Amino acid sequence: MNILRRIVQAVVLPKEITSFEEGYLRRTNRIALVFFALHIPVMVLLAACNGTNPLLALALTSAVVAGPALAVFTFRNPRAISMIHGVAAMFVGGLLVHFGQGPVQIEMHFYFFALLAMLAVFGNPMVILVAAVTVALHHLVLWFALPKSVFNYAAPVWVVAVHAGFVVLESIAGCFIARSFFDNVIGLEKIVRARTSELHGRNRDMRTLLDNVEQGFVTIDREGLPSAERSAALDRWIGEPRAGESLFELLRRSNSDFGELSAVSFTQVTDGVMPAEVMLEQMPHALVIKDSQFHVAYQPITDGDSEAPSHFLVVVSDVTERFNKERAERERAETMALCERLVSDRNAVNDFFDETGELIDAVTAQETTTQATHRMLHTIKGNSAIFGLASLSETCHDLESRIADGALVPEDLVGLREQWTNIRQKAERWLGARGRVIELDVGQQDLLEQAIRSKAPWPTLLAMVNALKLESTDRRLEHFGEQALRIAGRLDKNLDIKLDSGCLRVDPKRWAPFWSAFVHAVRNAVDHGIESPDERAATGKKPHGSIELATRLREDDFVISITDDGRGVDWARVKTRALKLGLPTDGENALRDALFCDGVSTADRITDLSGRGLGMGALREATQSLGGTVEVTTSPGAGTKLSMVFPKRAMSAEVTSMSVRPASHEICQSEQVQ
């Protein structure tokens, strides 16, 4: 039963007739009708040649052709018409044998086998079976009734059986071919439809997945054009691309700077100058849209053995929560750093807020960007780093980069103002009123008590009390020393710090701008001056570099100095850079002046620490504003000493000492002179 069922399933086609099959069969049926109609003159000619009644040939052949003609124009089922053609084909074969009586009559039987094979074009095994039954009945009936119409001799029954056997074999092969033709050609539409349905199902599943995943997925080609399939999250975050719009044009609508920079970087990826993986790492990744933060990553997709990627997978992740968490943690760390500074030196924190606030007011008030703007940003960056405000320092560094690229617009400074306002408001909650306070340590109290007990003259006591209103330079030097150690840690350098304040005190308000600029000297000494441990070992130096920060009275001068035992100033690099900027380079004095000109730097690259060539100019400007000069003493491989020299006679009320001699009750400044 199973074999019979399988035979029936193989012979009988599915009931459904697809539009493709219907169109194919109607066209094939019309062609078959024309084919059989052409047999009419052939049969007449054949009958005339063999003397087998041409008029009868005309009548019978026309009658046979009339059957499929009537079916073609009246039947609606194209399969039924095909079966009529199968029957007609065998009748035509019988007429051919009958009217071809003579020596070649037996060869006429090949027509039956040829037609059985040709009927496979209908793709229907039933057509072949109907034709096979027809030819079998034809031979059987005529073999009894009119033998000469079948064979040109008195053929025995076994000859008929042989013919029948070949018909069976031909029919089996024809049925197999017909069914294969139906399944693989005529039924192709159904296969495609089933495959399409399967693909639609997969696409629907993929679409469901993409619509429910909280990441943006899309593939782009080498032109940056996105595929139609993408996650719904991408449309929510960035928007839907327009027809023919690249991903980077879409990004421009959300963030013009990010989109433009991404487009330029992607061009470098597709140029193939360097490996795609390397260049994709250099693509911009941090995308900001309103209050949301996104991370954009790229993955190359290659086809076959091709090394160059044909497409790229773009993954956009919403990192707003992580960003806000990291920002909150950073703000807490910055708050703790300010608290530590406040505990150690409240006045220094107050001075920082006053000075930085004035600088930010000056920067954001300018309608156009000047070199002074760049210097002030550079100073804000350095001082923010000293007081642990890394976020503010990074903002200033980004603004400096935009200035260098000529892309800074006044609106970019609005963010700096808002960031500073936020920092200041938070700080004021625990700083309170930032009025200055006078701090008195145990040593200073002992000195005052000693002076009072020894009945020091009132001018001496007044000088000591007034000195308390001044700021001890050792606090400032301690801050710069800590900053130097932090920078050295970032650069993997080992560093020893020496401090010598000389027990000196200065007017904090007047000297605040200078201290703001002095940070550049500290950063340059660590970054440019001190070598890496490997470099120091190669030149026979001890692994730990050394930096000395000092404030001293030297005869009639007040000197602030920073000394390192690093590589010394590379005057050749200074000259090269000065020549590029069109600065004078003839003579030692010209090169020393060039060292303090904007844009001159001995750094190989620009970092958030140094390399822009602005810090030394800002330091000289701050020094000159106080009537001082800058001295540079350097030796290749031995180090550099930078001294800011101020005439003390012009600022005797601003620089003093807190120590006293019990016997003379005089301020002991002479002990600090070297």
DSSP β-ladder status, 495-500 and 545-554: parallel
Amino acid 186 reads I
Amino acid 332 reads R
What global pTM score does this model have? 0.50
- C-alpha–C-alpha distance, residues 655 and 508, integer Å: 10
Q: How many CB atoms lie within 10 A of CB 149?
A: 19
| Structure tokens belonging to residue 149 | 């119409």
Give the pLDDT confidence score for residue 660 in this predicted structure.
41
Low-confidence ranges of the chain (pLDDT < 50): 608, 611, 652-653, 660-674
Give the pLDDT confidence score for residue 655 in this predicted structure.
60
Count of residues making up the chain: 674
Does CATH place domain 328-437 in 1.20.120?
yes
Give the pLDDT confidence score for residue 304 in this predicted structure.
63
- In 3D space, the residue among 497, 661, 626, 628 whose CA is nearest the CA of residue 559 turns out to be 628
Give 539's contacts (C-beta < 8 A, 6+ positions apart): 531, 637
Give the pLDDT confidence score for residue 211 in this predicted structure.
62
Query: What angle do helix axes 442-453 and 458-468 make, rounded to 10 degrees?
Result: 170
The residue written with tokens 């900027």 in the block is 581
DSSP H helical ranges for 123-187: 125-145, 157-181
User: 282 — phi, psi (to 5°)?
Assistant: -85, -5
DSSP 391-403: HHHHHHHHHHHHH
Topology of 213-318 in CATH?
Beta-Lactamase (3.30.450)
* Domain 447-674 -> CATH class: alpha beta
- C-alpha–C-alpha distance, residues 252 and 187, integer Å: 49
Give 317's contacts (C-beta < 8 A, 6+ positions apart): 215, 216, 294, 295, 297
Give 185's contacts (C-beta < 8 A, 6+ positions apart): 123
- Answer yes or no: are the C-beta atoms of 359 and 392 closer than 8 Å: no
Give the pLDDT confidence score for residue 663 in this predicted structure.
34
List the helix and strand counts (H, then E) for the chain. Answer: 26, 13
- C-alpha–C-alpha distance, residues 319 and 399, integer Å: 23
**All structural domains of the chain with their residue ranges:** 2-191, 213-318, 328-437, 447-674
Rama region for 314: left / alpha / beta (φ>0; ψ in -120 to 50; rest): beta
pLDDT in tens, 511-544: 888 888 888 888 888 888 888 888 888 888 898 8
- C-alpha–C-alpha distance, residues 283 and 224, integer Å: 13
DSSP-derived letter for residue 660 is B
| Structure tokens belonging to residue 533 | 């441990």
